[in-house]
């Protein structure tokens, strides 16, 4: 039987990340591969006293108490954003998908960082987006390159992850944030700012959302509770400029009516409690230790093999390898020895700007395993370079 699928479905290939994650479920594997929060750091989920009140269908925009808390948080970050501009989503991944539905017709141009979040390449690719990568450095993209790319391509929007970026861990300087906002305001190109890592912060850095600096360009800001609490809840949110909001709500309705109500109610209760502040402080303390453990291990084993910056927040180290190695072959060898990581190349939206690289997650493995895993990776790399 020949299956007749939509062009959209035919474009989807399996995700390298999901394939690797399957292997990392094996006992004994040291995994630097996923973007997983540490299970032992997640708060306990106690739904007592909530479930029965939330059995009925609810509002597509989300539960009022949770929307109120989100609006307060975003206003505190300097964004002019009322509660009526907040839409609760099933993870911020749904926010990326809704943005695709909102803006992307076949062959629409999209500007994004090179490298960028793999699942955004996939989600927007489904709608036929054509990508142009903007070279990403440790302090952000180059606003002049952005201006030139906008003039040349007239993109449907620009998608950026300015704070503790996935995959690089990079964080834009305040100067670049302001300069990017200026370019977008002058050209009226919408900004999609994806910001799921902002609260995982281990060293003080500027991280005002670029959306807070915009004066006239349309914008969508994507947030998530996955890294802050538990990804299994599947609760995230978006905020948008007023002219975009009604369409985003209609698209959400067409997708899944509304986000899981019990998870939203639990979050509203948790975020409003003192337990939340304690949880956040503990989580960031543990992740900071793991970041430091990875930095120390890299200094011991990788100085001749790669260049990197210790990230001020988020979940990843990004290694630019000094050799022209085949990182997929390296991954195969590493998996044989029970260590997993993500090759960097799939994170580049096009071949432009691509270089041999690794993404290493530091939140999931315990510090002693971090040292062991990094030493093993270096050993394999040194062996293959001989
Ligand atoms: N955007 C970025 C940049 C991410 O790294 C992730 C998760 N890895 C997501 C969106 C999706 O997160 P979630 O759907 O769990 O909120």
Q: Is the CB of 263 under 6 A from ligand 1?
A: no
What average pLDDT does range 350-378 have in this prediction?
94
194 lines ligand 1 (CB under 6 A): yes
Ligand 1 in reach of 60 Cβ (< 6 A): no
**pLDDT beyond 70 at 18:** no
Mean pLDDT for the stretch of residues 57-63: 97
Banded model confidence at residue 309, pLDDT cuts 50, 70, 90 = very high
pLDDT the model gives residue 68:
98
**pLDDT for res 15:** 66
Q: How many beta carbons lie within 10 A of that of residue 244, not counting itself?
A: 18
Cα 218 to ligand 1 centre (Å):
22
Beta strand 342-343 with 140-141 is: unpaired
pLDDT of residue 191: 98
Give yes or no for residue 165 CB within 6 A of ligand 1. no
pLDDT at 385 exceeding the cut of 70 = no
- Ligand 1 site, residue 224, Cβ cutoff 6 A: yes
Distance 343 CA to ligand 1 centre (A): 18
Task: Report helix, strand or coil for 316.
Answer: strand
Percent of the chain with pLDDT over 90: 84
Tell me, in angstroms, the distance from the centre of ligand 1 to residue 302's CA: 28
DSSP 48-62: TTTGGGG-S---TT-
Residue 379 backbone phi and psi in degrees, to 5: -60, -45
Nearest CA to ligand 1 atom 5: 166
| DSSP code of residue 154 | -
Residues 6 or more apart whose CB falls under 8 angstroms from that of 54 comprise 261, 262, 264, 265
**7: exposed, middle or buried (Cβ count in 10 Å: 0-12, 13-18, 19+):** exposed
Ligand 1 atom closest to residue 236's alpha carbon, by position in its atom list: 16
Q: Cα-flanking dihedrals φ and ψ of residue 13, to 5°?
A: -110, 170
Angle in degrees, 0-180, between the axes of helices 118-125 and 91-103, rounded to the nearest 10: 40
Start-to-end CA distance of the chain, whole Å, equals: 50
CB 167 less than 6 A from any atom of ligand 1: no
pLDDT(258) > 60:
yes
- Cβ–ligand 1 distance for 226 under 6 Å, the answer yes
- Is the CB of residue 116 below 6 angstroms from any atom belonging to ligand 1? no
Question: What integer pLDDT is reported at residue 27 of this predicted model?
Answer: 82
Decide: 218 and 333 in contact? Cβ < 8 Å: no
pLDDT value for 36? 82
> Which of helix, strand or coil describes residue 243?
coil
Question: With pLDDT > 70 as the criterion, what percentage of the chain qualifies?
Answer: 97
Whole-angstrom distance, CA of residue 5 vs CA of residue 12: 11
Structural domains in the chain?
A: 7-42+276-385 (3.90.1150.10), 57-273 (3.40.640.10)
Average pLDDT of the residues of the chain: 94
Residue 26: pLDDT band (50, 70, 90) is confident
């Amino acid at each position: 039987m020949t299956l007749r699928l939509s062009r959209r479905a035919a474009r989807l290939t399996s995700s390298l990340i999901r394939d690797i994650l399957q292997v990392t479920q094996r006992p004994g594997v040291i995994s630097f591969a996923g973007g997983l929060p540490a299970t032992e750091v997640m708060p306990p989920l106690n739904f007592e006293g909530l479930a029965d009140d939330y059995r009925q269908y609810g509002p597509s925009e989300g539960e009022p108490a949770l929307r109120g808390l989100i609006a307060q948080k975003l206003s505190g970050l300097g964004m002019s954003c009322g509660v009526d501009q907040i839409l609760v989503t099933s993870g911020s991944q749904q926010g990326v998908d809704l943005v695709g539905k909102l803006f992307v017709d076949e062959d629409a141009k999209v500007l994004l960082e090179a490298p960028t979040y793999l699942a955004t390449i996939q989600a927007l690719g489904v709608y036929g987006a054509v990508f142009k990568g903007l070279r990403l450095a440790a302090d952000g993209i180059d606003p002049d390159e952005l201006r030139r790319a906008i003039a040349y391509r007239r993109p449907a929007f620009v998608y950026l992850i300015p704070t503790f970026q996935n995959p690089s861990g990079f964080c834009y300087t305040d100067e670049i944030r302001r300069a990017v906002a200026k370019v977008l305001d002058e050209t009226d190109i919408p900004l999609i700012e994806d910001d799921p890592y902002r609260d995982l912060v281990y060293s003080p850095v500027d991280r005002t959302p670029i959306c807070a600096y915009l004066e006239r360009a349309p914008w969508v800001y994507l947030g998530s509770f996955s890294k802050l609490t538990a990804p299994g809840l599947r609760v995230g949110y978006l905020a948008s400029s007023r002219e975009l909001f009604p369409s985003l709500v209609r698209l959400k309705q067409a997708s899944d009516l509304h986000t899981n109500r019990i998870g939203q109610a639990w979050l509203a209760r948790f975020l409003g409690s003192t337990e939340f502040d304690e949880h956040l402080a503990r989580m960031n303390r543990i992740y900071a230790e793991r970041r430091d453990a990875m930095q120390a291990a890299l200094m011991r084993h990788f100085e001749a093999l790669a260049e990197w910056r210790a990230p001020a927040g988020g979940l990843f180290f990004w290694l630019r390898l000094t050799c022209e190695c085949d990182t997929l072959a390296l991954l195969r060898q590493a998996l044989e020895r029970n260590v997993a990581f993500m090759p960097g190349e799939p994170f580049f939206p096009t071949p432009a700007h691509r270089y041999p690289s690794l993404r290493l997650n530091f939140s999931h493995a315990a510090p002693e395993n971090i040292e062991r895993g990094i030493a093993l990776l270096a050993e394999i790399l040194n062996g293959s370079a001989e």
